[in-house]
Structure 1
């Protein structure tokens, strides 16, 4: 045997896709783990021709699951973002779209027992320590992928997966506003640096000479914008206490513009070296929190709901995404309590994926 066999599920989670693996079937040390994931995905080639990646950042993501020792959680979810071409693996962020498939995958793997009708799966996001309560459709004690729920960026309809994100503030930086400011000026641009579910640098599209309504393809072709954005993102990362982020996908970058399709606000989200074709679930929570927080760069750009939880609709490059934000305005300032979303997932394949024994000889 010249290759090591690893069991896997291949799933779409939200608007992302990738392998879902049992953490027990993988190397314990992160250096060896990174090499295994690079081999599985096929990083190092723009088409990921020697692996199962899809050649774009939303299809080179990996979920690793295990039974949780946390008293609250049923399953631990460890996420990895594998680069398409650079043979790099980033274990710092989490991914809310891939998380959409964690509940179904945990049941399919036998890590969580299915109930008849619906199954609640409490998930601990290992990378950021966020807690997420998922509800999976399980009629007859089997995961169902058939249903009427529709999310922009995915064709057709599927069974809904309800997600409630808790304890997401400061998961990476330790603070809601990592720089201590509602607005920072970097390279002459006003930005809000915020850490809710995902650390982000958020700016107005108009400050970059953009409308905020450009397609993902048009933005990806605008390399002068990306050069300016990346220089700003690296400086913001340092101000946020994240060190040198030049080879990290965090903090992510987001642009805001007034809504034009009936939503709360128009957004574009970057991964960060190309444009997200839709919207990250984690990024959506951070952008929604930015809209609701007084004094950020979003101030005056959107009509804020008066109720709490507050419904926020973010227009993105492929449609829109709805986020329900539970928050409080206290003497200490604005406080995010939780955020709820509806996503979908689908099991595409299951079996074994193989890596050369020269990469890893196995458990």
Structure 2
């Protein structure tokens, strides 16, 4: 009396998602979304606990990847990211997810979509949500995905094999330009902000301008209702100016609160996605933040501690560690353009099988 759909469950970076073949889901988008919500939340759609489904009751564990061979000539795979908005019974497709991206090529190999090479396999992934592309390289000795290694990702216990994610042309992927308001600095409600999109739309704000240190724990910040109210007012005002329209029910733009580094990195961060303080920082959020750090005139650049060469990597500090981003840039007549944004992730296949959807859905 239920409908079964093949799936795999992967940890990608510091997130977790159900992975599906595009062909295994309904072609109609509205029906597809009903199936996805049923898989993660069951019949209790909108349930904060997601007790009747496979969701993990957090934004980091309520994610879905839909993968297929690419329809584009310059890509191998298409990757559509779906974020289940917990408690709302809705799905957002307005952003992509760099953490989950790291598991796309392993999924494609494990499911037979593409054939692995040895000792490694590289595939170009088309990020369907934003139209960007990423070259992903996975260790595949003897044509088998390797999940064992010594690479450590903060926010993830243990170590695993490295997965290299090389983002190509991520500037303005969602908003249309790197600085979508046309300014390096905007003033909103008397507070200086930088709106940026190098793969993830973000609004950067200095912690001192919010009358906080920036070192507070996520629990402490999440209990600060006045701070969250102030941040949401800023987000709602800047969303349209970032070419995102009314963002009331969207998970973007993110808010990234920046302060001076504590542990030798470039900058310290606290990220709100969009109303809850993240225990770490998203992959593309780290890329956008790192980009703001190296460009003069942004709120992040003024407080960042930069290495002699940002191509060697910028360490973006967050509540549970750090995230290193390597930026390959080109300087033309004093204007910096980002050619490549490179991050290191890990992934692991956790389970596979059939997820069951109630027949009436």
Q: TM-score range by the shorter chain?
A: over 0.9
SS of corresponding position for 1:309: helix
> 1:236 matched to which residue of 2?
238
Shift of residue 218, structure 1, vs aligned partner: 1.5
> 1:180 matched to which residue of 2?
182
> 1:30 matched to which residue of 2?
29
> 2:172 matched to which residue of 1?
170
> 2:48 matched to which residue of 1?
46
Distance 2:329 2:212 in 1: 31
Runs of 4+ more than 3 Å apart: none
Q: 1:69 to 1:332 in 2, by over 3 A?
A: farther
Q: How does 1:81-120 map to 2 (within 5 A)?
A: 81-120=83-122
8 Å Cα contact 2:16/2:60 also seen in 1 = yes
1:195 aligned to 197, 201, 206, which one?
A: 197
Moved more, 334-343 or 344-353: 334-343
Distance 1:188 1:197 in 2: 27
Moved more, 323-332 or 170-179: 323-332
> 1:20 matched to which residue of 2?
19
8 Å Cα contact 1:310/1:326 also seen in 2 = no
Uncovered stretches (5+) of structure 2, i.e. residues with no partner? none
1:250 aligned to 245, 248, 252, which one?
A: 252
Shift of residue 332, structure 1, vs aligned partner: 6.9
> 1:337 matched to which residue of 2?
339
Q: CA-to-partner distance for each residue in 1:212-271, whole Å, 9 max, x for gaps? A: 111122111112211111111011101112110000001111011000111111011111
1:148 aligned to 150, 153, 162, which one?
A: 150
> 2:131 matched to which residue of 1?
129
> 1:277 matched to which residue of 2?
279
Distance 2:310 2:61 in 1: 35
CA RMSD of aligned residues (A): 1.2
Q: CA-to-partner distance for each residue in 1:139-183, whole Å, 9 max, x for gaps? A: 111111111111100000111111101111111111111110001
* TM-score normalised by length of structure 2: 0.97
Shift of residue 357, structure 1, vs aligned partner: 2.3
Moved more, 33-42 or 87-96: 33-42
> 1:328 matched to which residue of 2?
330
Distance 1:298 1:92 in 2: 25
8 Å Cα contact 2:261/2:305 also seen in 1 = no
> 2:267 matched to which residue of 1?
265
For the pair 1:223 / 2:225, whether they are aligned, the reply is yes
> 1:301 matched to which residue of 2?
303
How many residues end up aligned between the 2 structures? 358
Distance 1:169 1:3 in 2: 44
Shift of residue 300, structure 1, vs aligned partner: 2.4
* TM-score normalised by length of structure 1: 0.96
8 Å Cα contact 1:81/1:90 also seen in 2 = yes
Distance 2:71 2:65 in 1: 18
> 2:290 matched to which residue of 1?
288
